[in-house]
Chains A and B, each alone.
Chain A
Amino acid sequence: AQSVSQHNHHVILSEAASLELGCNYSYGGTVNLFWYVQYPGQHLQLLLKYFSGDPLVKGIKGFEAEFIKSKFSFNLRKPSVQWSDTAEYFCAVNAEAAGNKLTFGGGTRVLVKP
């Protein structure tokens, strides 16, 4: 089945460490890509999105993601994390091949130790 995969379910790292979260999808054709974040006790909110143009997109709070079409990937990165980045991160893909339904990955829980 076509899907969105986030390879790491849990990530623990220290403040100032670099973060990279993987996201791969299996849809061909036109895709729109999103990363959402859910801070503890808060609602899901958009971190960044890609739908055309420069494959390196910058989002809020110092996050960026790179769309590599040949690898069907949209990995999220942050060079230096803070304790406040502790959250669950969700990759989501809206694909024409899937009828423009937004399909989410399973999420990655990130714990940043102070």
Chain B
Amino acid sequence: ETGVTQTPRHLVMGMTNKKSLKCEQHLGHNAMYWYKQSAKKPLELMFVYNFKEQTENNSVPSRFSPECPNSSHLFLHLHTLQPEDSALYLCASSQDRQGNQPQHFGDGTRLSIL
């Protein structure tokens, strides 16, 4: 049990669909993150939220839209994705954005774009 829960675990969608990924953390953390893990590439940071405010957008295309309604929940809204967006999307949380805080990861959502 990681304390960070992601749903769904798997998602298959067409390029014109709209879907959302959900992340919930039960650790009382204040910072939350979205990462993309593609085959043969390092984990890529996408977005960072600290105390519900977005503090980092790592040049992510606008077809990915994050939302953080509170410190425990993080969403990633998906719209008109491309085949190259197929990947494992990981959510993580940490106590805060200080550099020495380890991040706790969820199991990820494996996304396949048809």
Q: Which residues of A contact B (CB under 8 A)?
A: 4, 30-32, 34, 36, 42-46, 49, 51-52, 90, 92, 94-96, 99-107
Residue of A nearest to B40 (CB): A106
* Centre residue among B33, B41, B43, B106 by max chain A CB count within 10 A: B43
Q: Determine, out of B64-72, B76-84, B95-103, the stretch whose residues face the partner at the interface.
A: B95-103
Quick one: given A43-B2, A43-B106, A44-B105, are A105 and B97 in contact (CB under 8 Å)?
no
Q: Are B99 and A51 interface neighbours, CB within 8 A?
A: yes
Tell me, rounded to whole Å, the shortest Cβ–Cβ distance linking B36 to chain A: 11
Q: Are B42 and A44 interface neighbours, CB within 8 A?
A: no
Q: Are A101 and B56 interface neighbours, CB within 8 A?
A: yes
Q: Which residues of B contact A (CB under 8 A)?
A: 2, 4, 33, 40-43, 45, 48, 56, 58, 90, 92, 97-100, 102-108
Jot down 21 A-B pairs with beta carbons below 8 A, ordered by A. Answer: A34-B102, A42-B107, A43-B2, A43-B106, A43-B107, A46-B102, A46-B104, A51-B99, A94-B99, A95-B99, A96-B99, A100-B97, A100-B99, A101-B56, A101-B58, A102-B33, A102-B45, A104-B42, A105-B42, A106-B42, A107-B42
Q: Are A45 and B105 interface neighbours, CB within 8 A?
A: yes
* Centre residue among B48, B100, B104, B107 by max chain A CB count within 10 A: B100
**Cβ–Cβ < 8 Å partners of A36 in chain B:** 105
The complex places the Cα of A105 from the Cα of B2 at a distance, in Å, of 22
Quick one: given A101-B56, A105-B42, are A49 and B100 in contact (CB under 8 Å)?
yes
